[in-house]
Amino acid sequence: MNNFIKHKGLVVPLYRANIDTDQIIPKQFLKSIERTGFGQFLFYDWRFDENGVEKTDFVLNQPRYKNASILLTGKNFGCGSSREHAPWSLEDFGFRVVIASAFADIFYNNCLKVGILPVVLDEEVIAESVRKAETVEDYQLTIDLENCKIFDEHGFETAFSIDDFRRYCLLNGLDDIGLTLQYETEIADFENTRPGWKNFARGT
């Protein structure tokens, strides 16, 4: 997994509540058996019309937000399906950070596995940042995961919180499976001490 220490980047506001994973990446693109190449399909139905032509009024298509790496969005972002293709497509498109007042549970976990940092801030703070991202040309934020701080160059600074262990894993780009395999003996013990009928799935 990519590690995440500090990131400074251009902010794009997509300020709607309840953006679901079907919007982030529509189902017709889930048939690929690869892990890469999903960025071109990100927000597909919003970015392109029915003939595949870019919709110029959609915020991600506006020249001023090209190369944005921080997505500022509404509450309950990533609700719906568990598809990890959603953070894969965000990452492949160039996003490193998503900021919302609340995230859907599975999506939040998936982001951490992919190395995208989901940052939770108060709704009022987000609304204010949206205003800046809309009005200030080339509005950038810096997210410092080591110190759990987020700030801009216009005097804004606030702290955010994230589970300590998750933060540690992100900072070091640690592979969960590798960590878990340290407990191999305990896993084997757990399996060996279960009564046979609980170690089921044999129908006997």
Partner 1 sequence: MKTLYDKIWDAHIVHEETGKPALLYVDLHLIHEVTTPQAFAGLRLANRKVRRPDLTFATLDHAIPTIDRNLPFNDKIAEKQVEALRKNCEEFGIKLFDLDRIEQGIIHVFGPEQGLVQPGQTIVCGDSHTSTHGAFGALAFGIGTSEVEHVFATQTLPQSRSKNMLIKVEGELPFGVTAKDVILAIINEIGTDGATGYVIEYAGAVFENLSMEGRMTVCNMSIEAGARAGLIAPDEKTFEYLKDKPFVPKGKNWEKAVEYWQTLKTDDDAKFDKVVEIEAETLAPFVTWGTSPGMSVKVSENVPDLTDAKNETERKSFERAFEYMALNPAQKVEEIEIDRAFIGSCTNSRIEDLREAAKVIKGYKINEKVSAMIVPGSMQIKKQAEEEGLAQIFVDAGFEWRDAGCSMCLAMNEDILQSGERCASTSNRNFEGRQGRGGRTHLVSPSMAAAAAIAGHFVDVRNWKFND
- Interface contacts to partner 1, rule CB under 8 A: 16-18, 20, 22-23, 26-28, 30-35, 45, 50, 74-76, 79-84, 87, 102, 104-106, 109-110, 113-114, 163-165, 176-177, 179-181, 183, 186-187, 190-191, 195-198, 200-204
CB-nearer residue toward partner 1: 22 or 144: 22
CB-nearer residue toward partner 1: 21 or 69: 21
CB-nearer residue toward partner 1: 11 or 111: 111
Tabulate helix, strand, coil % of the chain (nearest 5): 40, 20, 45
Q: How far is the CB of 73 from partner 1 (least distance, A)?
A: 12
From the list 73, 70, 81, 82, the residue with the least C-alpha distance to 113 is 82
CB-nearer residue toward partner 1: 67 or 172: 172
- Enumerate residues 6+ apart whose C-beta is below 8 A from 12: 59, 60, 65, 68, 70, 71, 72, 133
Asked whether the beta carbons of 7 and 65 are under 8 A apart, the reply is no
Taking the C-alpha atoms of residue 152 and residue 16, their distance in angstroms, rounded to an integer, is: 22
CB-nearer residue toward partner 1: 10 or 148: 148
Q: How far is the CB of 108 from partner 1 (least distance, A)?
A: 9
Name the strands in the sheet holding 70-73, side by side, starting at the edge strand that comes first in the sequence.
117-120, 97-100, 70-73, 6-14, 140-144, 149-151, 157-159
Q: How far is the CB of 48 from partner 1 (least distance, A)?
A: 10
Q: How far is the CB of 155 from partner 1 (least distance, A)?
A: 26
Q: How far is the CB of 33 from partner 1 (least distance, A)?
A: 4
For 97, the 3-state DSSP assignment is strand
